[in-house]
Amino acid sequence: MALDHQLDEEQLALVEAVREFTHEVVAPVSARHDREHSFPYEVIAQMGEMGLFGLPFPEEYGGQGGDYFALCLALEELATVDQSVAITLEAGVSLGAMPIFRYGTQEQRQRWLPALTSGEALAGFGLTESGAGSDASGTRTKATRTDQGWLLNGAKEFITNSGTDITSLITVTAVSGEKEDGKKEISTFLVPADTPGFTAEPAYDKVGWNASDTHPVTLKDVRLPEDSLLGEPG
């Protein structure tokens, strides 16, 4: 079956709008933010107003009712000028908001998604550790059950969108038990950024993507309610 690679009118309009925004708004401040290692809050706010953070989400959660292809079109245009801005959008959507949409309860979706899909808030994904990342089985961050919910302890590295003024939460993977075959049970938790014990440490001094917010984070006796679990245990 032949594939039709032609963009439709709606897709072409999106590309044109993001291209114009990229050259008129992003490009003039890109070098300064990269040089100063500063986060482009004013750019991100305008991207939110354009609906870019909500592209692949349903309207009931504040999204645009589009799809991932629309997001890819927007990312391609942004990345031609500023990859820090592009990765902020990509991580905020794919790593931050999408797991909540895909695996969250209705209550979790209603609580977190409207601010994330509007760009008013950002979320990060805490998977990588000093000995874990692509090999998630190396995870050492631990989640212990308590009478009130969960207690998390550990550290994560290279976490995008983890320390901005508009970061609302980090999705964190942690060892929550042991399976019958002896392997680690690794679960995912929603950790609000203002939770006591959660700290975004000083940002990395990187050789590129300097306007992208990237920090190591630590979790020291982070107490979470039971409904902070995202999806099923393990």
The last residue of one of the domains, among 121, 139, 169, is 121
CB 214 within 8 A of CB 230: no
> Kindly report the CA angle at 212 between 134 and 75, in degrees rounded to 5?
80
The tens-digit pLDDT sequence of the chain (234 residues) is: 455 578 989 999 999 999 999 999 999 999 999 999 999 999 999 999 999 999 999 999 999 999 999 999 999 999 999 999 999 999 999 999 999 999 999 999 999 999 999 999 999 999 999 988 888 889 999 999 999 999 999 999 999 999 999 999 999 999 999 888 888 999 999 999 999 999 999 999 999 999 999 999 999 999 999 999 999 987
CB 73 within 8 A of CB 11: yes
- For residue 172, what pLDDT is reported? 97
Write the CATH number for 162.
Answer: 2.40.110.10
Are residues 70 and 44 both part of a single domain?
Answer: yes
Are residues 28 and 91 both part of a single domain?
Answer: yes
**Phi then psi dihedrals of residue 129, to 5 deg:** -130, 180
**Phi then psi dihedrals of residue 68, to 5 deg:** -70, -30
DSSP H helices, 80-232, are 83-90, 98-103, 106-117
Provide the domain limits for residue 54.
9-121
Are residues 68 and 117 both part of a single domain?
Answer: yes
The last residue of one of the domains, among 121, 151, 177, is 121
The last residue of one of the domains, among 74, 93, 121, is 121
**Rounded alpha-carbon distances, angstroms, from residue 55 to 68, 102, 106, 208, 211:** 8, 15, 20, 27, 23
In a domain, 175, yes or no: yes
For the chain, the domain total comes to 2
In a domain, 212, yes or no: yes
- For residue 181, what pLDDT is reported? 87
- For residue 208, what pLDDT is reported? 95
Write the CATH number for 18.
Answer: 1.10.540.10
Are residues 99 and 137 both part of a single domain?
Answer: no
Are residues 113 and 43 both part of a single domain?
Answer: yes
CB 77 within 8 A of CB 22: yes
- For residue 136, what pLDDT is reported? 84
- For residue 234, what pLDDT is reported? 78
In a domain, 196, yes or no: yes
